[in-house]
Amino acid sequence: MRSNTFKITKGKAFYLYKDKGNFKLYPDEIFNILRKKDVLDIGFNNLVAKVEKKTNQKISLKCISTGLLENNKGVYVKNRNIKINYLTKKDEKAIKLAKNLNIKNFALSFTNSTDDIRKFKKVIGNSRGIYKIETKKAVLSLKELIKSADNFLIDRGDLSKEIKLEYVPLVQRKIFKIANKYKSKKIAIATNFLESMIEKPFPTRAEVNDIFNACEMKASGLVLAAETAIGKYPKECVLLLKSIIRVFNKTR
């Protein structure tokens, strides 16, 4: 098991702290928003837990589905909708630093509305904004979102937390159908395209087919994630992805 990763089994208790401990929530305001009986879906390794008790400094949780607790993973509140600021103070500082370093591309995670896009455009100025489609709210307003900007990225991993997994391919195709009505729209796809290669030196046939299908949909970019971040075969993944794209281009 990788460092900073803990297996939590069903029925076991664990804790999230406001200001200390191995694991804490980010941004900090989330701690105050959570309440007793909230159900949290943590990361992508099946861990689901319920808030049993909360104090000013500690949240006590009970595991209701065995999984892995890892650093830097998304946390989803399954039982209700919560609202947080779409940009944190840390984000604002990072954007300011990036602009000083002449970085031209900025991506906004969890874009929910045209208002989010409008606000982000104001923050980044003339820089290129890329808007990630990964929430149910975004899915419900696809036409408006795509009309209001030119560059989008479908994050299928986070999206699969918000809608049922079997609907993700349908939403992906709907996004491209809308975008193809415009000449200027670019849609990239981010997911673990080669997830099996995190641990193995070769892909599944389904994964190769998925990449080819994404090319046929005219995706402007294909983004690897865990394969190159924590995987055992990052170079092989990149070379294979390039090879599949090259084969596709030969068929055009």
pLDDT at position 182 = 94
In sequence order, the 6+-apart residues with CB closer than 8 A to the CB of 177 are none
The answer to whether the Cα torsion of 78, 194, 129, 89 is positive or negative is: positive
DSSP-based three-state secondary structure for 124: helix
Look up residue 178 and give its two tokens. 């809308």
Look up residue 49 and give its two tokens. 């837990």
Count other C-beta atoms under 10 Å from residue 97's C-beta: 10
Query: Once rounded to an integer, what is the mean pLDDT over residues 42-68?
Result: 92
Asked whether residue 120 carries a pLDDT value surpassing 80, the answer given is: yes
Query: Once rounded to an integer, what is the mean pLDDT over residues 40-69?
Result: 92
Mean pLDDT estimate for the chain: 92
pLDDT at position 1 = 37
First to last CA, the chain: 44
Q: Which of 13-17, 73-77, 127-131 is predicted most confidently?
A: 127-131
Nearest to 185 by CA among 119, 124, 136, 130: 130
Q: What is the pLDDT of residues 186-205, one digit of tens each?
A: 999 998 899 999 999 999 99
Domains of the chain in sequence order: 5-77 (2.40.33.10), 89-250 (3.20.20.60)
Asked whether residue 111 carries a pLDDT value surpassing 90, the answer given is: yes
